[in-house]
Structure 1
Amino acid sequence: MNPTTTTPSPPSSSSSSSSSSSSPQTLLELINNLLSLLLLSSLSVKSFTGRWQVLHSKLTSLRSSLSSLSSSTHWSDNPLLLSLLPSLHSTLHRLSTLSQQCSFPSFSGGKLLMQSDLDMASSSLSNSLHDLDLLLRSGVLHHSNAIVLSHPGPSSTKEDLGFFVRDLFTRLQIGGIEFKKKALESLLQLLTQDDEKSKSATLVAKEGNVAYLIHLLDFNDNLIREHATTAISVLASANDESRKTVFEEGGLGPLLRILETGSTSLKEKASAAVEAITADPENAWAISAYGGVLILIEACRSGSTVTQAHATGAIRNVASVEEIKNSLAEEGAVTVLIQVLISGTSSAQEKAAHCIAKLASSGEYFRALIIRERGLQRLLHLIQDSSSSDTLEHVVRTISCLSTLDSISRILSSSTTFIVQLGELLKHGNLILQQISASLLATLSISDGNKRAIGGCMGSLVKLMESPKPVGLQESAAEALVSLLTVRSNRKELARDEKSVMRLMQMLDPKNELVCKKFPVMVVAAVVSGGSQGCRKRLVAAGAQNHLQRLAEMEVAGAKKALQKLSGNRLKTIFSRTWRE
């Protein structure tokens, strides 16, 4: 040992043991004294010099942090230091002992044990540095009201709220179990204010450490996991900004793990978060990266009613991604979704119906899967059972996709119950339901008896022809109406319906630019196609002849033929009358 170098003596053990009961000011003084000695001794060690160089760098950083700490206005009042400073003092005391043991050129003890001790002390020092840095960066040491974590009132400024969130997350990351629990309770109180939920979520996403909150999803304390999962679920569901933060900070993987292995309560909250995250198409692809397809299907199959509804919603969200769509088919999602249509809640049924509609529109492979799983029968029952217009819309859309198969088209065409249901949807459904129903009526091969059975919906079809939106509605309504008008009694019924005739005349009027003229022309031609004098007279009296004359001059498709049918031929009329007599 160099005679000019003196190794500082470590503080006594009694000094270390009494640190936990000392005031913050006394503790900081003890720590600074120890630090000064260590900065010297770490340069004079003779063994494990590489590790001590790293420790010296950390001790230098610690000196800078402690200087900033002592210059903070209210540092001694912060409750987090009551656990942080004793822990730091203990670490420095341990390092002081180790530095004395390493002060001789030839180390006589167990080298592996010393290396382990130095690494553990270095890790503890890094943790203390991290916590100190977090405290300093949060700014809470400059506020006297950081002593008690109180919920900001309604009149709180944006700055007050920002401080509250920063202080809250500081306590989450530095404090012990009780600090974490109280901080999470305050966070949930902030996030679950009904009138401020979205604003609070944005604030937390901006000012808080969402990545650490996600880390708590795997914490070994049940209450902390529960609170953290609830908070993440609220953040994921509140708005686009907070949802994006949860996803970008890596929240999807831990949420899927909870959905797979958590308690019922945790699964319900995690499933809500996963549904919200996958609602963004830019996030939906990531489900496959975490093996989430099977997890979602299993949650849909065996989860609680709440979990099932959210998991079904998540499956619906990801069904638009081509690669995931194929995985859904391979893993049996169609079977599970159809089961949800049978036994799920109304919310789950709506989401399952939407998902099945998406899959049915994807191609014949999925349509065949749905039919094989007896999906058509369940869909037909659901039209009767469901009172939700959204669910009905998805159900009828799926049936429309399935009807492109000849075998299904024949089944639907021969089902009086289904045809009557379409007629009811035309009269009472929303615009989308009416359009899909009209399109189905136009394409199915319906018997005359069934056409007569739904003759009462013709007025609704005429009314739909007036609507320029959605695109294709006028055409579907006109084609369905022309199909129904192949039956004589329906032609007479429509001609006697003054409101419908008046609407047809308004649509025929060349001045009316909202309606494509070929559609009312088609209907008028269909009404007079049977040669009924009564139908012809009513249309002529309403002014159809003049409108058709002008449309023929404008070369509107079908106008000339319709005009000829409407005008008739006197000789032909006489022969027709004689034949009837």
Structure 2
Amino acid sequence: MHPSTAAATTGSQPLQPLLDLITTLLSLLLNSSLTVRSFIGRWQALRTKLSSLESSLSSISDSTHWSQNPLLHTLLPTILSTLQRLKSLSDQCTLSSFAGGKLHMQSDLDMASASLSKHLRDLDLLLRSGVLHQSNAIVLSQPGSGSEKEELVFFIKDLFTRLQIGGVEFKKKALDSLLQLLIDDDKSASLVAKEGNLGYLVSLLDLNHHPLIREKAVMAVSLVVSDSDESRKIVFDEGGLGPMFRIMETGSMPLKEKAAMAVEAITSDPDNAWAVSAYGGVSVLVEACRSGSQATQTHAVGAIRNVAVVEDIKMGLGEEGAVPVLIQLLVSGTSAAQEKAANCVAILASSGEYFRSLLIQERGLQRLMHLAQDLLDSVTMEHVLRAIASLSVSSDSASRFVSSSTTFIVQLGEFIKHENVTLQQISASLLANLSSISDGNKRAVASCMGSLVKLMESPKPVGLQEAAALALVSLLSVRSNRKEFVRDEKSVTRLVQMLDPKNELMSKKFPVMVVVAVLGGSNGCRKRLVAAGAYPHLQRLSEMEVAGAKKALQRLSGNRLKSIFSRTWRE
């Protein structure tokens, strides 16, 4: 026995005699393994494992605080039991003639060998974890919020060591501590993914494990994968997606919610999303949206949104009846579920005629239009408007339906005036692309024309200037709107400044396009633009062959020539 064993503290006395007994028994078995007369090949393999066990136990006793680790109170007795059983088998195999059943003895020896392998794995894990060199290994206490990273790393290693080696009670306590850590410290999940054994944590999701352990493991995995791409990749690579789908089908309501949360997190990585169909996950997700709790629905529809961009899965969503379920969530889901459902509907609506037809059949356009009237957060409203925009181009009837809603058209005008730039751009695009808006509805949103001019000055995001210009051109097709526009000196000044060739913030075709629309009517409009200095800019742009500039110049010059002729005639 190594001298350090004898130097163990007084508190180690309960374990010291046990270790001494195991060491003595090991020595006897190593000697007897050389003298057996039956099953010699199996005993040679056993001897190798016994030698490794002796070496591991020696390393254990060299560890400063080995006797303080509670895992050894469980592990050493099981090792002793295995060795005692092996000693009995050894005695039978050293007899000159073995009289027992050979198959039975072979089975017993193989079982003992398997037990030794497990003991060696557990001891190796315990040694590699480093917990035997820490004086506080006996206390499973969570580090405080201001703890050093090293202390937190040790705590995580200690947790996973107990989780993998200990019995049911050790596993329960370790999982409780792990959950508490993940809940209390939102930065701990990345360390858990890096320092812990997520593969083993995933293995606890198996149906064969103790129900309470399985439940706690589901909760822990769901929290870990919600933290980072790294943890999601590890859990996916370890096969965690399949068990989560099984839990969504057969688990209790709280477990289904946690499993759905994990599936949503794992599928947020496009590299993982493709595997949903391999596990039959599409039908599971659709059913969870249809009949699950509100929390389960919210996470399940989030997962559907994640996989809706995967071409191989997209068609499966249509075949499994996802569209009517999504439409229903737009009406009855939580605000979070509505946002995710709207996002998913927008994705599907932009995917082609197949999904646009399905959505129209399920009265999706009407539901979206109704939803747009509610006080939604800006992100949900963005998805709703994108979906409406995609569906409105599916047929003339859909376009007419959207265009005829004065309430909706006025709402678009309000978004252009007051909302964030993304909503402004989507709203402007809708106004520009809806070809059936009546003159009355265009007059109803005339107040947003000044905001559209401002948006034309913004080079980002891409497409904003064009959307604003086209929307403005559409509104200026109404004579009263043109008159109102030129009465707005600030808007006219901004428009003329955008015509200036020295202004390089935008393509000149957009302000030229608006000028042509403004000049579609009265002399008053022309006078306003001339007075604001538009003529020399248009003349230069015409020379530069900017699209539409020559037409705009001709309209503006036509009025100037008439004035000259009129003045000459009077003179």
TM over 0.5: same fold? Answer: yes
- Which of 550, 553, 567 is the equivalent residue of 2:557? 567
Give the corresponding residue for 1:448.
439
Give the corresponding residue for 2:3.
none
* Gap change, CA 1:341 and 1:282, over 3 Å in 2: same
Give the corresponding residue for 1:205.
193
**In structure 2, C-alpha distance between the alignment counterparts of 1:443 and 1:76, rounded to whole Å:** 77
- Preserved contact between residue 330 and residue 367 of structure 2 (Cα < 8 Å): yes
After TM superposition, the structure 1 stretch with the greater mean CA deviation from structure 2, 466-475 or 155-164, is 155-164
- Preserved contact between residue 523 and residue 559 of structure 2 (Cα < 8 Å): no
Aligned pair 1:168/2:159, yes or no? yes
Aligned pair 1:526/2:530, yes or no? no
Give the corresponding residue for 1:502.
493
- Which of 46, 51, 61 is the equivalent residue of 1:60? 51
Give the corresponding residue for 1:11.
none
- Preserved contact between residue 415 and residue 424 of structure 2 (Cα < 8 Å): yes
- Preserved contact between residue 415 and residue 423 of structure 2 (Cα < 8 Å): yes
Aligned pair 1:83/2:46, yes or no? no
Give the corresponding residue for 2:8.
none
Give the corresponding residue for 1:423.
413
Q: How does 1:453-464 map to 2 (within 5 A)?
A: 453-464=444-455
Q: How does 1:286-297 map to 2 (within 5 A)?
A: 286-297=275-286
Give the corresponding residue for 2:545.
555
> Structure 2: which 5+ runs fail to align?
1-11, 567-571
- Preserved contact between residue 354 and residue 395 of structure 1 (Cα < 8 Å): yes
Aligned pair 1:538/2:521, yes or no? no
- Which of 455, 463, 466 is the equivalent residue of 2:457? 466
- Preserved contact between residue 525 and residue 566 of structure 1 (Cα < 8 Å): no
- Preserved contact between residue 255 and residue 274 of structure 1 (Cα < 8 Å): yes
CA shift at 1:155, angstroms?
4.7
> Structure 1: which 5+ runs fail to align?
1-20, 577-581
Amino acid at match of 1:401: S
**In structure 2, C-alpha distance between the alignment counterparts of 1:242 and 1:76, rounded to whole Å:** 34
CA shift at 1:271, angstroms?
1.4
Q: How does 1:27-176 map to 2 (within 5 A)?
A: 27-104=18-95, 106-176=97-167
- Preserved contact between residue 425 and residue 433 of structure 1 (Cα < 8 Å): yes
- Preserved contact between residue 138 and residue 170 of structure 1 (Cα < 8 Å): yes
Give the corresponding residue for 1:395.
384
In the TM superposition, what whole-angstrom CA distance separates every residue of 1:108-149 from its partner, at most 9, and x where no partner exists?
333333333223222222222211111111121122211212
**In structure 1, C-alpha distance between the alignment counterparts of 2:540 and 2:398, rounded to whole Å:** 43
Give the corresponding residue for 1:364.
353
CA shift at 1:438, angstroms?
1.8
CA shift at 1:239, angstroms?
2.0
CA shift at 1:105, angstroms?
5.2
In the TM superposition, what whole-angstrom CA distance separates every residue of 1:532-564 from its partner, at most 9, and x where no partner exists?
122222222222223222322333222222122
Aligned pair 1:301/2:290, yes or no? yes
- Which of 341, 347, 351 is the equivalent residue of 2:330? 341
- Which of 220, 228, 238 is the equivalent residue of 1:239? 228
Name the TM-score, length of structure 1 as normaliser: 0.90
- Which of 291, 307, 311 is the equivalent residue of 1:318? 307
For 1:61, what is the secondary structure of its paired residue? helix
Name the TM-score, length of structure 2 as normaliser: 0.92
Aligned pair 1:230/2:256, yes or no? no
- Preserved contact between residue 522 and residue 558 of structure 1 (Cα < 8 Å): yes
Give the corresponding residue for 2:243.
254
Amino acid at match of 2:490: K
Amino acid at match of 1:167: D
**In structure 2, C-alpha distance between the alignment counterparts of 1:322 and 1:377, rounded to whole Å:** 27
* Gap change, CA 1:45 and 1:386, over 3 Å in 2: farther
- Preserved contact between residue 526 and residue 559 of structure 2 (Cα < 8 Å): no
Superposition CA RMSD, Å: 2.2
Amino acid at match of 2:216: H
**In structure 2, C-alpha distance between the alignment counterparts of 1:376 and 1:53, rounded to whole Å:** 76
CA shift at 1:102, angstroms?
2.4
Amino acid at match of 2:70: P
In the TM superposition, what whole-angstrom CA distance separates every residue of 1:349-404 from its partner, at most 9, and x where no partner exists?
11111111111111111111111221111111111124211111111111211222
CA shift at 1:22, angstroms?
8.0
For 1:285, what is the secondary structure of its paired residue? helix
For 2:33, what is the secondary structure of its paired residue? helix
Percent identity of paired positions between Structure 1 and Structure 2: 73
For these two proteins, the number of residue pairs brought into alignment is: 552
Aligned pair 1:328/2:314, yes or no? no
In the TM superposition, what whole-angstrom CA distance separates every residue of 1:242-295 from its partner, at most 9, and x where no partner exists?
222222222222222222211111121221121111111111112222221111
Give the corresponding residue for 2:503.
512
**In structure 2, C-alpha distance between the alignment counterparts of 1:570 and 1:23, rounded to whole Å:** 110
CA shift at 1:572, angstroms?
6.2
- Preserved contact between residue 267 and residue 307 of structure 1 (Cα < 8 Å): yes
In the TM superposition, what whole-angstrom CA distance separates every residue of 1:452-490 from its partner, at most 9, and x where no partner exists?
222222112111111111222211211221121111111
Give the corresponding residue for 1:285.
274
After TM superposition, the structure 1 stretch with the greater mean CA deviation from structure 2, 544-553 or 306-315, is 544-553
Give the corresponding residue for 2:401.
411
CA shift at 1:440, angstroms?
2.1
Amino acid at match of 1:334: V
CA shift at 1:178, angstroms?
2.2
- Preserved contact between residue 236 and residue 276 of structure 1 (Cα < 8 Å): yes
- Preserved contact between residue 462 and residue 477 of structure 1 (Cα < 8 Å): yes
After TM superposition, the structure 1 stretch with the greater mean CA deviation from structure 2, 291-300 or 106-115, is 106-115
Which of structure 1's runs of 4+ aligned residues deviate more than 4 A? 569-576
After TM superposition, the structure 1 stretch with the greater mean CA deviation from structure 2, 418-427 or 375-384, is 418-427
